[in-house]
Amino acid sequence: MEKVCLIGAGSTKYGKLEDSITDIALQASVDAIESAGISPKEIQAGYISNVFGIADKQVHLGPVIMSNLGIPEVPSLSIESACGSGSVSFREAYANVAAGFYDVILATGVEKVTHTGTEWTTTYFSYCSDFFYEGGAGASFPGLFASMARAYLSEFKATEEDLAKVAVKNHDNGLLNPKAHLRKKISVDDVLKSAVVASPLKLYDCCPFSDGASAVILCSEKFAKAHTKNYVEVIGSGRGGSPAALQGRDHITTIPSTKIAAQAAYKMAGITAKDVDFAEVHDCFTIAELVDTEDLGFFEKGKAVEAVREGRTKLNGDISINPSGGLKSKGHPIGATGIGQVAEVFDQLTGKAGERTVKDAKIGLTHNFGATGASCAVHIFRSV
């Protein structure tokens, strides 16, 4: 296999955006192309992750983006894997460079949903669950993650304050990220006093609905070396699956797909969880970050909660979790999120993360899943 590298990354701000889905996808793509210092003509394929283009009247986004970049002849593929679309698309782009099919790929993720309103967006998102057992029976994502939270709080003697601490940490990080959706300092008390969405989860335990786009440029090592000294290597890539509905799982305080994807990625990279300096993980709800950091092997089962209490996951703690602010504060434009995580790792490892830089970081990990973890991809990156 060819070594695969990252040479550029770009993002729009996440939040409520007025431009069309095509425009924001282009803004992020151009940003990534300029950051890589290449010409669009050097791109050989495009991978576009998106879930609800139909809500902004544009599906088949690949050719539209390639045409607007002035490279209509370049092949492209749109990929949907619910909230994990970005990482799954990144994996396909990675595999195609690794296999030697292409030297340079543009991977762009985009979502635009805030204009449809909370009621409709919640309904659309529920189509990503196992609709027969979950969405169609009235279980929205806040409800499903609330079930996981209830089980976790009772199994591991954790409290709602512990969940709140995850939100406070991620809001603190998001304050340092100019592109984050919710840039607001909050306290544990603010979280506990915010409106109940699905008990025990409250408003500040939830990620917001966000619009946004992110893009990265993947390439072969040969191409990277010929273009720049400041690039990042992809050293591990893993994918996993879980029963689509929560009811099909033996335990709901762990996500099988995360464990499978992480093991595959660590094995490929030849490292263990202890070697990772920071991670962008899928904290769609505060409970998810606790479960993720255990499934990724950073903490033993039931111990993530102690790590959060002790501040070990804060920026420049033992392991910085979600230095970007995570889905909770940076925002969660679902088709873009997985690519946005990779863009954050690129910025961190190439000295472009400004005030939120994780000191002396060499190895970063991204973890992004679809729905309640039915599909998942984990990637590991190293600075050169």
Ligand X SMILES: CC(C)(COP(=O)(O)OP(=O)(O)OC[C@H]1O[C@@H](n2cnc3c(N)ncnc32)[C@H](O)[C@@H]1OP(=O)(O)O)[C@@H](O)C(=O)NCCC(=O)NCCS
Among 209, 231, 266, 346, binds ligand X (CB under 6 A): 209
Contact between 110 and 24 under an 8 Å Cβ cutoff? The reply is: yes
Among 182, 315, 377, 380, binds ligand X (CB under 6 A): 182
Does 141 engage in binding with ligand X (CB under 6 A)?
yes
178 burial (CB, 10 Å; 0-12 / 13-18 / 19+) is exposed
Give residue 100's region: left, alpha or beta (phi > 0; psi -120 to 50): left
Site for ligand X in 142-181 (CB under 6 A): 142
Among 197, 255, 376, 377, binds ligand X (CB under 6 A): 197
Which position among 171, 227, 332, 379 bears the catalytic label?
332
Is 113 in a helix, a strand, or coil? coil
Nearest-CB residue for ligand X: 118
Among 46, 208, 326, 364, binds ligand X (CB under 6 A): 208
Site string for ligand X, 60-99 (x = CB under 6 A): -----------------------x----------------
Whole-number Å distance between alpha carbons of 224 and 218: 9
The yes-or-no answer on residue 332 being catalytic is yes
H helix count then E strand count, the chain: 13, 12
Among 91, 169, 314, 332, binds ligand X (CB under 6 A): 332
The yes-or-no answer on residue 83 being catalytic is yes
118 burial (CB, 10 Å; 0-12 / 13-18 / 19+) is exposed
The first and second tokens of residue 305, run together, are 């909660």
Does 287 engage in binding with ligand X (CB under 6 A)?
no
Does 14 engage in binding with ligand X (CB under 6 A)?
no
Instruction: Write 118-127 long-range contacts (CB < 8 A, 24+).
Output: 118/209, 121/209, 124/52, 124/55, 125/334
Does 291 engage in binding with ligand X (CB under 6 A)?
no
Residue among 10 and 15 whose Cβ is closer to ligand X: 15
278: nearest Cα among 367, 340, 215 = 367
Active site residues: 83, 332
Question: Which residues are at the interface with ligand X (CB under 6 A)?
Answer: 83, 118, 122, 125, 141-142, 182, 197, 203-204, 206-209, 284, 332
